[in-house]
Chains A and B, each alone.
Chain A
Amino acid sequence: MHHANHYYGHSRVLARYCGYEPELPLLRGYLQHGWNIGDGMAPDHEFTPGVPSFLWSERTRRRAWSMGRRQLYVTGSPWAYLIAMEPDEPEQREGTIFYPFHGWEGQHVQGDHDRLIDEIRDTETGPVTVCLYWQEYRTPRVRSRYEEAGFRVICHGYRGGWWKDLDPGFLGRQLAEQRRHRRVASNRLCSAVFYGVLAGCEPAVYGDPMQLDGEQDLFGGRGRIRRQWASMHGATVDLETARAVTTEELGADRLLSPGELRQLLNWNDRNGNGR
């Protein structure tokens, strides 16, 4: 229904969980597609009255309610469903997967990549994989810097946009990559760090957080993230605390049964055409 529902193949994961593989039924509502500190949706997300929102965590539901949103349902994140469907296979874990903070389509990051590279080198003891957003991956100037630093540089793929070039394999590739690493890190607390924790990595958040051109600190911004999720920040963090925080933020303790999810997403009476 909303193009953002399909970012990163999120709706595909839920469809699979509900037993609708490989077809993709129409999802009636707005699906949270990334960790955020506001009402769960992107700041420019439009809302049609009467259309439900499906949120990752109870905290996000409360926040969204306090902001005047209604018809809110906590479903847990698609990532948590994926983890539930793909039990961890014992694999040799090594090194760190690092996600430099990125802008989204049309945004540009201001920051010193070289300084960040130095900070990663100073902190990490094992091999480092740097995962770039597709925009930066395709920018040789940025990509070569990380490669020249001796890091393995990868990209999980294109998140998809406006129902085109959808990539149902995005999250699966990300999970496989993360499970190869012992640590997950970023210079900003973001979805990827939480994902990594749920995938069994030890998290870290350090380094120049960089910023977007004209970035506004909505909902308290970076300062609030550092205060409210202080336990997720640092070159090493307490793993038990980080796991508890992650479980809450990704709603891993709130997963619904396939029956409940089908009911909420209006998938019991399938009449979708693949959108």
Chain B
Amino acid sequence: MTALLLGGEMPHWSDSSPVRGDVLREVLASVAGDTLVVGPHDPELIAAIPARNITVLVRGMLDAGTGAELPGVQVCCGSLDKLAAVPAYDTVVALDGLDRTISTEGADLTWSESLNCLLNVLRPGGRLLLGHGNPLGLHRLYGSAASAGDADWVVTAADVTRPAGLDALGDRLRAAGLTVSRDYAAYPDPLSPTVLLSRTALADPDRHGLLTSMLRRAGLPDGPLLADPRPLAAELLRHGLAAAVAPSWLVVAARPGDGTPPPPEVLPAVPAVAGDCLHDALLAAARSGDRPAMRALLTAWQSGDAATVPADAIIVAADGRLHPLTGPAGEPVLHLLADALRDEGEGDETAELLAAMAGTPVAPRPAAVPQTLREVRAAHDGLAARVSDLQDQLRWYETRTAALQSELARANRIIAVLKGTVPGKAAKAVLDGARTGKRLARAAVRRIRR
């Protein structure tokens, strides 16, 4: 289907990294009725929408061309303010947020004006699925400085209408007459979240172990990182900050009259198990120097069925039973744990030592590639220390060699002097005779052996 040009379209443009990911597909599973998708979304996400009538609005002509290939999808290209303000949709999907709907050719809409454009097209009883990036998200706090890209032709940081936080986002939607049925913190990356945790779930202390495990396993944000943000997971939950520093948020809100049940509180779906994350239990034992507790946990883990499941994917129940949440890891789990303990500042644990504590053999160490600036720095520091050690050793060998050489030279001089004396000559004749005798004897032995 040919794209419909609304005006304000950018002829040369493509938003080359659209929002994507399986977990978003699960959110879209309940989308129904006439649906408008606004902003850059991965074609796989659009294909996953079960609704029959789908309209997609993008700003770049190159993306309009790609979207037009999707069967049954009407693609519109242009800026948000060119969208006819008619309530024509039962669902409006803007998982990427509103920032990438602004065009170089269109008006400078504030965040709030852009939201109004979406609300204007939403029918009574209609639903809005809205993403919202967090400029103070962990991905930014732990990210390295990046220069402005081609998409940063104008910086909207000072837009005071942009909700600062999940609370403000919910308030803004409620003020517009919508009911918020779900508000998620999305990790680890705004463009490709793998975990969605609702605020209801985050507020439940019984689920902290489970959610810590999910956050630890959510993966890393895209791009160069200063350090691995995952070690913060448990503390973020304990301090009630997991929503505040989430890389992005996602809300499901509706006009009165919406009868569709909200999506699950936690995505992807996990069994409800109360307890601590084994990784954090081991970390706590290591930090407090409680070697017996650490040994007991390691032994229980490594001697049971979950021995190949990583520690961050296991919940330790109050009765001590281990509940694995995933299958075996692709990498040796003790090495993963040892690396994490070192990265999280707990001394020089090695996989070999952990294996010895658990009473199990250790797998060979996989080649590690540093992923964060901190890991690169650690690798660099380790190398620098090794080079320094080797330089010291080299200096010792140089000194030692010089000493040996001077001793050898002195010995040679003594030998030369001794050779010139009568007893010296006699001694040489005896030695030469002895050598000849030895040769004759060897030849005789060889002949006898034949």
Which of the 9-residue segments A62-70, A117-125, A180-188, A261-269 touches chain B?
A62-70
> Does A47 have its Cβ within 8 Å of any Cβ on chain B?
no
B346: min CB distance to chain A, Å: 46
> Does B150 have its Cβ within 8 Å of any Cβ on chain A?
yes
- Specify which of A61, A62, A220 is in contact with B11 (CB 8 Å cutoff): A220
Q: Contact between A63 and B5 (Cβ–Cβ < 8 Å)?
A: no
Tell me the dominant secondary structure on chain B's binding face. loop
Q: Contact between B7 and A66 (Cβ–Cβ < 8 Å)?
A: no
> Does A59 have its Cβ within 8 Å of any Cβ on chain B?
yes
B141-181 Cβ-contact flags toward A at 8 Å (1 or 0): 00000000011111000000000000000000000000000
Q: Contact between A66 and B104 (Cβ–Cβ < 8 Å)?
A: yes
B91-126 Cβ-contact flags toward A at 8 Å (1 or 0): 000000000000011000000000000000000000
A77: min CB distance to chain B, Å: 19
- Specify which of B61, B105, B154 is in contact with A228 (CB 8 Å cutoff): B105
> Does A104 have its Cβ within 8 Å of any Cβ on chain B?
no
A273: min CB distance to chain B, Å: 36
B-side contacts of A68, CB under 8 Å: 150
* Interface set, chain B 1-25, CB cutoff 8 A to A: 5, 7-13
- Specify which of B61, B105, B152 is in contact with A63 (CB 8 Å cutoff): B105
B-side contacts of A220, CB under 8 Å: 9, 11, 61
Tell me the dominant secondary structure on chain A's binding face. helix
Q: How far is the CA of A125 from the CA of B104 in the complex (A)?
A: 39
A-B contact count (CB 8 A): 41
Closest residue of B by beta carbon distance from A65: B153
B-side contacts of A3, CB under 8 Å: none
B-side contacts of A65, CB under 8 Å: 104, 150, 152-153
> Does A227 have its Cβ within 8 Å of any Cβ on chain B?
yes
Most chain B beta carbons < 10 A, residue from A59, A61, A228 = A228
Q: Contact between A219 and B12 (Cβ–Cβ < 8 Å)?
A: yes
Q: How far is the CA of A162 from the CA of B163 in the complex (A)?
A: 54
Most chain A beta carbons < 10 A, residue from B8, B12, B154 = B12
B100: min CB distance to chain A, Å: 12
Q: How far is the CA of A74 from the CA of B12 in the complex (A)?
A: 21
Contact (A67, B12) CB under 8 Å given A59-B105, A228-B105: yes
> Does A224 have its Cβ within 8 Å of any Cβ on chain B?
yes
Give how many B residues have a beta carbon under 8 Å from the other chain's beta carbons.
Answer: 16
B-side contacts of A67, CB under 8 Å: 12, 150
A-side contacts of B154, CB under 8 Å: 62
Q: How far is the CA of A63 from the CA of B151 in the complex (A)?
A: 10
B-side contacts of A224, CB under 8 Å: 5, 9, 11
A-side contacts of B13, CB under 8 Å: 66
Q: Contact between B150 and A228 (Cβ–Cβ < 8 Å)?
A: no
A208-219 Cβ-contact flags toward B at 8 Å (1 or 0): 000000000011
B283: min CB distance to chain A, Å: 46
- Specify which of A66, A219, A230 is in contact with B153 (CB 8 Å cutoff): A66
Q: Contact between B104 and A227 (Cβ–Cβ < 8 Å)?
A: no
Q: Contact between A66 and B11 (Cβ–Cβ < 8 Å)?
A: no
Q: Contact between B61 and A62 (Cβ–Cβ < 8 Å)?
A: no
A209: min CB distance to chain B, Å: 18
B150: min CB distance to chain A, Å: 5
Q: How far is the CA of A61 from the CA of B13 in the complex (A)?
A: 15
B-side contacts of A219, CB under 8 Å: 11-12
B-side contacts of A62, CB under 8 Å: 104, 153-154
B-side contacts of A218, CB under 8 Å: 11
B263: min CB distance to chain A, Å: 35
Q: How far is the CA of A220 from the CA of B13 in the complex (A)?
A: 11
Q: How far is the CA of A62 from the CA of B106 in the complex (A)?
A: 11
Q: How far is the CA of A38 from the CA of B154 in the complex (A)?
A: 17
A-side contacts of B61, CB under 8 Å: 220
- Specify which of B5, B8, B9, B150 is in contact with A66 (CB 8 Å cutoff): B150
Contact (A227, B10) CB under 8 Å given A66-B104, A67-B150, A220-B61: no
Q: How far is the CA of A220 from the CA of B77 in the complex (A)?
A: 12
* Interface set, chain A 218-236, CB cutoff 8 A to B: 218-220, 223-224, 227-228, 230
- Specify which of A63, A223, A230 is in contact with B104 (CB 8 Å cutoff): A63
Closest residue of B by beta carbon distance from A70: B148
B52-76 Cβ-contact flags toward A at 8 Å (1 or 0): 0000000001000000000000000
Q: Contact between A227 and B150 (Cβ–Cβ < 8 Å)?
A: no
Q: Contact between B104 and A59 (Cβ–Cβ < 8 Å)?
A: yes
A139-163 Cβ-contact flags toward B at 8 Å (1 or 0): 0000000000000000000000000
Q: Contact between A227 and B153 (Cβ–Cβ < 8 Å)?
A: no
Q: Contact between B5 and A227 (Cβ–Cβ < 8 Å)?
A: yes
Per CB-CB distance, the 5 closest pairs between chain A and chain B, nearest first, are A220-B11, A62-B153, A65-B153, A62-B104, A219-B11
* A residues at B contact (CB < 8 Å): 38, 59, 61-63, 65-68, 218-220, 223-224, 227-228, 230
User: 28 A-B Cβ contacts within 8 A?
Assistant: A59-B104, A59-B105, A62-B104, A62-B154, A63-B10, A63-B104, A63-B105, A63-B153, A65-B150, A65-B153, A66-B10, A66-B12, A66-B13, A66-B104, A66-B150, A66-B151, A66-B153, A67-B12, A67-B150, A68-B150, A218-B11, A219-B12, A220-B9, A220-B11, A223-B5, A224-B5, A227-B7, A230-B7
Known: A62-B104, A228-B105, A230-B7. 9 other contacts (CB 8 A): A62-B153, A63-B10, A66-B10, A67-B150, A218-B11, A220-B61, A227-B5, A228-B7, A228-B8
